Structures are given as structure tokens and as C-alpha cells.
Amino acid sequence: MPRYETVIGLEVHVELKTRTKIFCDSTTEFGGEPNTHVCPICLGLPGTLPVINKKVVEYAIRAALALNCNIAEFTKFDRKNYFYPDMPKNYQISQHDLPIATHGYLEIDTQKGPKKIGISRLHMEEDSGKLVHQGTITTTPFSLVDYNRAGVPLIEIVSAPDLSSPEEACQYVEKLRTIILYTGVSDCKMEEGSLRCDANISVRPVGTGRLGTNTEIKNLNSLKALRRSLHFETERQIEVLRAGGRIVQETRTWDEGKGETLPLRSKEQAHDYRCLPEPDLVPLLIDRQWVEDIRGSLPELPEQRRQRYIKDYSLPEYDAAILTNTKELADYFERCVRAYSHPKAVGNWILGEFNRLLNLHGIEIAACKVTPQNLVSLLRLIDQGTISGKIAKVVFAEMFTSGQAAEAIVKKKGLVQISDRHAMVPVVEKVLAGNPGAVADYKAGKGRALGFLVGQVMKATQGQANPELVNKLLKERL
Amino acid sequence: MQLFLLTAHEIHELLIKKEISAEELNKAIYARIEAVDDRIQAYITRTAGKALDQARAVDKQISNGEKVTPLAGIPIAIKDNICTDGIKTTAGSKILSNYTPPYSATVVKKLEAAGATIAGKVNLDEFAMGSSNENSAFFATRNPWDTSRVPGGSSGGSAAAVAAGAAVCSLGSDTGGSIRQPASFCGVVGMKPTYGAVSRYGLIAYASSLDQIGPFARDVTDCALMLNAICGHDPLDSTSAKQRAMDYTSFLKDDVRGLKLGVPEEYMVEGIDPDVRDLVIKAMEKLESLGAVVEYTTLPHTDYALPTYYLIAQAEASSNLARYDGVRYGVRTEGTGDVMDMFMKTRSEGFGAEVKRRILLGTYALAAANYDHYYLKALKVRTLIKEDFVQAFKRYDLLLSPVSPTTAFPIGEKMDDPLQMYLSDICTISVNLAGMPGLSIPCGFVGGLPVGLQLIGRPFDEGTLLRTAYTFEQNTDYHKQYPDL
Amino acid sequence: MITKKDLEHVALLSRLELTGSEKAMFARQLNDILNYFQSLDCLDTENVQPTTHVLPLQNVFREDWVGQHTSRQDALANCPDRQGDYFRVPKIV
């Protein structure tokens, strides 16, 4: 039986974070009472006309440059005609044959090392409204339409069929998301639908050159859905082929509940988009100076940043990758390092306690009360021996909730580390006297007993004792 | 004095001399509408109340000694495919028969800003698709010169209202001749400005790359005053040109000496009624006698204009009319099943035969299998047709031709043969394909029915059109004849 | 040549439901029209650029400033069927 390999291409839709919609001046704000973020243009009222938002073009170029694309000199809009009740004009203004950007790529990490994934094109288009179903789409007698989202700007990023597993597909989406977040043109929230994904997938016997017939899976609203649906579809296609069947080229949707992909009805498949140049919009000639200005304003991108952290800060590859995963985290890290030149120590704290508490409380960095200056002060207190690493965690937790400076907390709670030999000796002696068993164990060669004794001293001092000093004092007396 | 026979500039004189009031004027026009419109059937919606309020405001301004514009207080009829805030706008279609827009077209705002009053909304072929007004979902407007005949189309209501004295001026839209042909049939001045000269924002689209709003008036001076009010860049229309504001009345000079006028021979041969052709030749001779140089010339790709026009217009229309689906506005016909069924029922019930025919043709021309052969081919031939005009305008300041091969035809005559109906647009469609300005001015009568002379100009050279038309008008008296109603 | 099947497909794409007699009439008329349009075939347009806009306009932009929204009342005023603040349509599938 032949072994099969999977070929996947992704179409990722990203909502741009402009203030207004792509062709009218209605707000793009998420949420809002139904049908309040609308105007005659985005409602598709008879007689209305689109005018392109300059910021949308700028953001599209910005994203495209970050994805190593070529920016077209001449680009235009087209109408893609099909009927759907969430589309106010029953055509979507999109870009057909002359997209704003082509020929890009990004790199993902695979077990075999880095892999370049081609980006065949990136284009601008308008989003549709939203359908609200009472119950499920199949059982509800009515659907309700909210056009607040209609006309929100999207970029569609189409990958080459370079992805060979569901895992690679997920990695690609995560990487794409990271890069777009860095450019600041979208907040890429899959759960709010500001990043959405359709997948084209086919299988072929290993070693065959030609692509197999593909299916398209729509409405993949999470990485989990992407991974699961691609696994399901791979298996389904292989099963069909192994049973001697043929793959039907069709659009399928992912049913999260059933855990399977299902074909759309055939009459909905009868699509012929009849694209035509949008007569209501004039072409765009993209000025090269504009492109260079946008290029110049791009921040350092995650890949470059990661390399720099490894090279300049001698960070392990893993730490560098995680620190650069979001721009906010990397910016935070760098602000700390600028004030305190021990990148490894800063990194450990950020990847440790800092991230743990952020995740625990579900807080974004922007909303975190610990400023880089305060974190650095905390690290300095450890360096100076004012507090122990253990106490530092307690102090940090307090900083995290109250936003107070480390020094203030240490002072208020009397957490200053006890490094005074004279103050410590009586405590140590009391512990030794109170734990004769452990002392005997240690003397019998059980090294672990020392740890227990240190712990008892720390407990007796509420963690304020300087651990090095405690060790030293215990050893002197044992 | 019959106020309804006066032109806007004549009325303006009376208004500022306080010999009449705007209120009187509007009441007179309303009395005229009441008197004749049951025979003409130009109006779909009359807005007397609002117009009188607007008129009284103008009278107040005048009595306060404020300066008012030449269109202040003048009742103007608006083609019912131009949106008016709070006033029903149907596009002549059943599918929009209950539709009231929440906004006004830019042209309407401009007219209102100039103080004009809106007399009402006038009839048209459904979605401006037709040459006779018979495709209106409501009723067929009649030609004021002979009520058994069509007023032309698609802006038939706009032309008939002005010819009948049921409005002083009006607005129409012209995609392939829809202003010029009814102007010709009804014996009034009608102008399609250069594509991009007037904002299309608020014009219910038929074929976006060809549609243009323009005025109807009883003489060339009024036509210039209307252009003054409606032309100009609009940030809401991406295809609107960035032109300097100008005073079109500055071109109204009785002088064509030295102008070079070309007559495309393709517009003078085949299919043109000999009596119509004779009147055009007489007009040529008239202009020649007034000092213009008139020569025959050629637009070699004229034979291809009709298929090119219909393929492009229908392709765009099939897309433009997709939004009428019974979800957001308009008349819905419930089906028995799902939303797809509702779409099909709504559109099949809501559109008339001509609209369906054009949607089907446009959809066919754009379908993947036919795109290159039909639609793309038409876009390329459009380039050749435009180039014909560019070449001609290297030698001539203006082109002259008939507007329509015939005078107004009897109601019902061409309804069963769409192709014959399309062929009557032969002299006007190229002008839209090339985006040039075109004007129709009365040049005589055949059997008691008016005939229009078409003037075609260079892009944004409305001035030379107006100057030539004005000179012709000053030296003829066709515009002073009125239908007997 | 438009066959009945072509016409049915085009009607479906256009969301038009045609009766039997409409199908026959439109098929005949569209074929007449397309026959007449065949004259375009004899024109060589190999090296001709298509015209999609007659004016040489380009780069017409709008700034990213929020404007006035339509009131919900106006947005829904012409709606054939509504439920609360939503437009309502029959089930999708």
C-alpha cells in the first residue's frame, strides 16, 4: 500500500486595526449593539459608492513587507460576485488578478530545521456582516443579520502549498500571527474572528510530483480546529483513495461537535465568482517612496530580534524564541535589560514568575502593573543581598497585584534579608538543638539532612535569612 | 402670463424683481402638474408640501434682501433613480416600490443648497434600462407632443415633465443615451456631462462605468445654470474628477466662427430616418452659415459600439443589481424554504422582463467560460472606440450627429423585439463608452414630433458644447415651441 | 449558442427563477442578441489594452476618520423583516 503525504495551503484572513472601515467612515470597533456601526455605504444601500481608506493600503503594505513580499506598482480592486445574506451588496470588493503584494515567505521551525513557507499573494478586501443563528445553522427557522462587521478591512494572505502536516500548518499560523502582531496592523484575535483561516488540502502518494485533487475547509476558528480538521481530512482522503475512490473537489466545513469535515450542499458549490474590475474604484499606483517610508517604519521583526538576543545577550535559543514571541514581551524585556545588564537573569524572571502570573490572572503585558524599572529594582535587591530569591517571589507577587515598588514592599513588610551573623547564630543553634534526628542523619553521611535543617532555619525566620549564611553557619556547627 | 412656460433664468428675473414669489411659482407648477399629469404620467411621487416650504424660505430670503442663486425657488423634477432623503425612490422597479432612502444624492444636496425646490420624482424605465419608459414597473410616461407615443428613455419622465411645463428643469441619468434621446423625443435640451464631471453618489447604479447624471432644460442657458449647480468634485465618488469650479454661463456666446465641427458619416447612413437626417443636414448648414467649419469625418469602430456597450453595461448591471435580495430593503417575496429560495422568489417577482434579460446577459458574459470572449473583448473594443474619438478631436472641436435614428415611436411598437429597441441607441452609446460630454438640442420637427441634434465634445469641454448649442438656439426658434396640452 | 442548460445555470447564478415560457423567450432573445454581437469576433484585439475606466484617475483615497453613523432606526427602516435590532432572513440551509 502506498504511503501518502499531505499538501496544505492556507488562506488566512486578518482584520486590520484601522479606525474606520475599508470603503466608508463607519467605525471598525468590535462589539457594539447590532446594526449601529453602519452607514448607507456599508449597508449597501442603492446609490452608494466606495472610497478606499488610505490607512488600509498602508497597513496592507506594512504587513506585506514584514512577510517579505513584493509590493505591486499597479494594483486595483475587483468585484467577486456571489449571494449571501451577510454580504450587503451580494458582491465582495476584493482584489483578483493584481493583488497589492506577491512572492513573500516566512520561516517555520521543523524537526528538520527551519523551513521556508511561500506566500503567493496578499490582498485587500472587505469583511462581511455576521449571521446569528438561534440554535444551530441547520435547525433554526430564521437567521439574524448584523452588519456591524460588514466592510471592516481584511487582508487575505495566501500561502503556497508548502505545508506538509497539520502541525506545520499550525506553526505557520502562529508565526504569521506573531509577525502581523509585530507590525501592529491587527490584533489577530482568533476568538474574536480578527484572524480566520481556510485550508486547502490534498494528499498524494509519496514521491509523486503532481498534486492530488484538493478540498477546501472553511471556518477554522481556532488552532485546535485547524489541527483537528486537517488530521481528519488527511485520513478521510487517504481512506477514499485506498478504497479506490476519487477525491471530489469541493468546499467542506468543519463541524467541531462531530469532529469531522462535511461537504457544503451542491447548490452552494455552484460558484462562478464572475470577477470584474470594480468600476466604482480607480486603480492604485503605489509610490516607491511610500513603500520605503513604510519599510523604514517597521519595527525589528521577531526573527531578527531572536537572532540578536542569541548573539548579543547569549540567551539560549529557547528563551530567545519565547521572549520574542510577542512584541510587547520583547519590548518589556529590552526595557529591563537597558536598565540592568544581566539579560539572562531578566529573561529568567520574565519567563518564570512574570509569565506565570500573567497567565494565571489572564493579564496582557500592557495592563501589568509591574513596570520594567520596578522589576529591575527587585533584581537589584536580590543582587545586593537585601532579599533572598525566595522572598523576591513573594515581593513580586505583591508588586504584581498592588503595583508598588519592590523597596516599599520590602520595607513595609520587613522582608529585608537577615545577613547579620550575630542575629542568625541563636536561631541556627535553636534549630540544631530541636532536631537531633536530622543532625544524627547528617553526621551518618546523609547529606540531604542539611537541606532539611536549612529549611527549618528559613521557616523560623519567615524566609528572611540569607540562605548562604545559613548554610555556612550550619556546616560550621555540624 | 403662463409661469409654467418660462425658463429658470426668466423666472429668476421676475423673482428678484419681486413680480412673482417662489411660492406662486411652485403653486403654478403644481397646478400644471395637476392639469396635465394624468395624461403625461411623468410623476411617480409628487412632493408639493416640501417644495412649498422650500419656496417660502426662498421668498423670505428675497424679501430680506439676500442674494439668491439663479435656481432659487425653481421647481426641479428628479429622476426616480436619484436618491432623496425621506422621499420614496423606486428606480421604476417593483422591487424598490416601497423604498425610502435615509440620505440624498450629492446632486440633490447641491440643488437644495442652490435653493431649488424638488417638484417630485419622475418616471423611468426600470433601473434606467430602456429607451421608451415602457419598462417602468408602474406606468408608461407619454410624449407631450403626442400622447400615443413614447417620451423616450430611460429618463422619459424627466424629459416629458420639462416639455409639458410640469417642471422648469429636471435631472436625468444617461448610460447609453438616456438623457439625450428623451430630450430629442420631447423637444428639450438634455445634456450628459463628461464622465466624472457630476458625482454619481446617490444615483442608483445601472452600469457604473457609463452612468452619468445630467440636466434637462427648456433652453441652453438653463442647462448651463443646472451644470453650475451640479458639477464638481465629490469626495464620496472615487470616479469624480478633480476639476476647477467654473461658471458655465460664461460660454453662452452667440458665436461659432472658426469652430471646426465634424459629422461622423457612420451616424448619417444606415437606419437613419431620411427626414431626421435632412434636419441634421439643415442644422449643419445653419452652423456653417454662422461661421463654423463643418466637414464629414469618421469614427471607424462605430459598428462595434452596440455589442460593446451592451456587454459592458449588462455585465456591470448584473453585479450592481445583485443587492436587491429582500434582506435590507425593498419588497420581499417569501418562499417556502430557505434564504436561497427567498432570494429567487424576491428577484423573480421584483424585476421586470427587461431587467431580467440584462442580468442574464451580463451574468453570461462574465461567467468564467465566456469572460475572455465577451466581457474582456468588449473592454478592449472600448479602447478602440475611445481612440476613434481621440483621433477625431485632434481635427475637430465638436462632433455633430442625430441623437436618435427616428422621432418618438408609438407605445408598444418595439416592446417585443429587444434587439430593435437596442438598435435605436446607435448614435448615443459610443459617447458613454468614450466618456465624452454630449448634448441634445431641438433642431426641427418631423410630422409634428421634435428632432434633436447631438453635439459631442472633448472631455470636460462642456463649454464648447454650450457655446455651439447657444449659438444655434439664438438663431433658430425650435425651443420656443410648446406641445399643445 | 445559449442552451437551456446554460440559461438555467446563469439564472441560478443570478438568483432568478424562470418559468418555462420565460426560459424559452429569454433563450431565443439572448441568442438573437449574442448572434448580433458576433461581429466583435472579426476585430483583432490581440494587442489592445482593455479600458475599465475612461478617466485616467488613480490613487483616490479617504482619510481614516470616523464619520456619522446611520441611526439604528434609519438602518432598519426599510427592512422587510426584522427581529429586534437585527435583519431577519429565512434559514440559511
| Model pLDDT for residues B161-219, shown as the tens digit of each residue | 999 999 999 999 999 999 999 999 999 999 999 999 999 999 999 999 999 999 999 99
- Here the cell at position A446 is 546523609
C2-38 pLDDT, tens digit per residue, is 899 999 999 999 999 999 999 999 999 999 999 999 9
Asked if B360 lies within 8 A of C32 by C-beta distance, the reply is: no
Distance between CA B157 and CA A198 in Å, rounded? Answer: 50
Mean pLDDT on A130-158: 89
- Here the cell at position B135 is 419598462
Q: Look at residue B241 and tell me whether its pLDDT is greater than 70.
A: yes
Q: How far apart are the first and last CA of chain C?
A: 34
Chain C residues whose CB is inside 8 A of the A37 CB are: 69
- Note whether A304 and A364 are same-domain residues: yes
Residues in chain A: 478
Backbone angles phi, psi at B357, to 5 degrees: -60, -45
Q: In what order do the strands lie in the sheet with A215-220?
A: A70-71, A101-110, A113-126, A153-159, A4-15, A195-205, A215-220, A251-255, A260-263
b/e sequence A356-375, b meaning 16+ C-beta within 10 Å: ebbeeeeeebeebebebebb
State residue A88's pLDDT score.
97
Q: How confident is the model at residue A267 (pLDDT cuts 50, 70, 90)?
A: low
Chain B residues in contact with chain A using a Cβ-Cβ cutoff of 8 Å: 81-83, 89, 91, 96, 99, 101-103, 105, 200-205, 207-209, 235-239, 315-316, 318-319, 322-323, 325, 327-329, 339-340, 343, 363, 366-368, 371, 375
Percent of chain B with pLDDT over 90: 93
b/e sequence C33-67, b meaning 16+ C-beta within 10 Å: bbeebeebeebebeebeebbbbbebeebbbebeee
b/e sequence B270-287, b meaning 16+ C-beta within 10 Å: eebeeebbebbeebbebb
Q: Which chains touch C (3 or more CB pairs under 8 A)?
A: A, B
Q: Of B196, B268, B318, B192, nearest to B427 (Cα)?
A: B268
Which of A290, A311, A338 is at the close of a domain? Answer: A290
Q: Which residue has the higher pLDDT, B353 or A445?
A: B353
Mean pLDDT on A274-282: 97
Q: Which residue has the higher pLDDT, A383 or B155?
A: B155
Distance between CA A204 and CA A220 in Å, rounded? Answer: 23
Chain centre distance of CA A470:
45
Please state which architecture CATH assigns to domain C4-40.
Orthogonal Bundle (1.10)
Asked if A274 lies within 8 A of B367 by C-beta distance, the reply is: yes
- Note whether A12 and A104 are same-domain residues: yes
Q: How confident is the model at residue A163 (pLDDT cuts 50, 70, 90)?
A: very high
Nearest residue of chain A to residue B107 (CA atoms)? A47
- Most confident option among A18-27, A235-244, A398-407, B414-423: A18-27
Distance between CA A398 and CA A376 in Å, rounded? Answer: 15
**ipTM of this predicted complex?**
0.97
Asked if A91 lies within 8 A of B322 by C-beta distance, the reply is: yes
Domain borders along chain C are 4-40
Q: Mark which residues 300-329 of B lie under 8 Å from C by CB.
A: 301, 303-304, 306-308, 310-311, 318, 322, 325-329
Q: Where are the alpha helices (DSSP H) in B156-206?
A: 156-163, 180-186
- Note whether A309 and A283 are same-domain residues: no
Listing DSSP states for A401-451 in one string gives: HH---HHHHHHHHT---B--HHHHHHHHHHHHHH-HHHHHHHHTT-THHHH
Listing DSSP states for B308-357 in one string gives: HHHHHHHHHHHHHGGG-SSSSSS-----SSSHHHHHHHHHHHHS-HHHHH
Mutate to test the interface with B, among A49, A92, A93 (most CBs of B within 10 A): A49
Give the residue carrying C-alpha cell 469531522. A260
Find out whether B366 and A274 touch, Cβ atoms under 8 Å.
yes
Domain borders along chain B are 3-259+397-480
In a domain, A295, yes or no: no
Distance between CA B122 and CA B178 in Å, rounded? Answer: 14
Distance between CA B89 and CA B83 in Å, rounded? Answer: 6
Q: How confident is the model at residue A268 (pLDDT cuts 50, 70, 90)?
A: low
Average pLDDT over chain B, rounded to an integer: 96
Catalytic residues of B: 79, 154, 178
Type of residue at B139: F
Percent of chain B with pLDDT over 70: 100
Find out whether A149 and A127 touch, Cβ atoms under 8 Å.
yes
Backbone angles phi, psi at B180, to 5 degrees: -65, -40
Cis peptide bond prior to B173, omega within 30° of 0: no
Mean pLDDT on B444-463: 97
Asked if A284 lies within 8 A of C63 by C-beta distance, the reply is: no
A39-76 pLDDT, tens digit per residue, is 999 999 999 999 999 999 999 999 999 999 999 999 99
Range of the domain at A342: 300-413
Mean pLDDT on B367-374: 93
Question: What is the third-level CATH fold of B3-259+397-480?
Answer: Amidase signature (AS) enzymes (3.90.1300)
State residue A135's pLDDT score.
73
Ramachandran sector of residue B130 (left: φ over 0; alpha: ψ -120 to 50; beta: rest):
left
- Note whether A27 and A132 are same-domain residues: yes
Q: How confident is the model at residue A110 (pLDDT cuts 50, 70, 90)?
A: confident
Q: How confident is the model at residue B1 (pLDDT cuts 50, 70, 90)?
A: low
Q: Which residue has the higher pLDDT, B426 or B285?
A: B285
Mutate to test the interface with C, among A59, A144, A269 (most CBs of C within 10 A): A144
Percent of chain A with pLDDT over 70: 98
Q: How confident is the model at residue A93 (pLDDT cuts 50, 70, 90)?
A: very high
Q: Mark which residues 16-55 of C lie under 8 Å from B by CB.
A: 16-18, 22, 26, 29-30, 32-34, 36-37, 39-40, 43, 45, 48-55
Chain centre distance of CA A140:
34
Average pLDDT over chain A, rounded to an integer: 90
Q: How confident is the model at residue A296 (pLDDT cuts 50, 70, 90)?
A: very high
Q: Count the domains in chain A.
A: 3
Q: Of B316, B331, B320, nearest to B137 (Cα)?
A: B331
Q: Look at residue A419 and tell me whether its pLDDT is greater than 80.
A: no
Give the residue carrying C-alpha cell 400622447. B147
Mean pLDDT on B131-146: 97
Which of A256, A290, A324 is at the close of a domain? Answer: A290
Mutate to test the interface with C, among A49, A86, A143, A287 (most CBs of C within 10 A): A143
Type of residue at A287: D
Asked if B307 lies within 8 A of C26 by C-beta distance, the reply is: no
Q: Which member of A43, A83, A137 has the closest CB to residue C75?
A: A43
pTM for the model: 0.91
Q: Which member of C57, C63, C85 has the closest CB to residue A33?
A: C85
Range scoring the smallest mean pLDDT among A12-16, A408-412, B336-340, B472-476: A408-412
Q: Look at residue A270 and tell me whether its pLDDT is greater than 70.
A: no
Q: Which member of B102, B384, B459 has the closest CB to residue C48?
A: B384
Asked if C67 lies within 8 A of A143 by C-beta distance, the reply is: no
Asked if B235 lies within 8 A of A51 by C-beta distance, the reply is: yes
In sequence order, what E strands does A49-88 have?
A: 52-53, 70-71, 74-75, 78-81
State residue A400's pLDDT score.
87
Q: Look at residue B485 and tell me whether its pLDDT is greater than 90.
A: no
Q: Look at residue A442 and tell me whether its pLDDT is greater than 90.
A: no
What's the 3-state SS for B104-143?
CCHHHHHHHHCCCEEEEEECCCHHHCCCCCCCCCCCCCCE
B38-77 pLDDT, tens digit per residue, is 999 999 999 988 899 999 999 999 999 999 999 999 999 9
Q: Which member of C16, C17, C50 has the closest CB to residue B379?
A: C50
State residue B419's pLDDT score.
79
Distance between CA B301 and CA B305 in Å, rounded? Answer: 7
> If you ran DSSP here, which 8-state letter would residue A43 be given?
T
B260-304 pLDDT, tens digit per residue, is 999 999 999 878 999 999 999 999 999 999 999 999 999 999 999
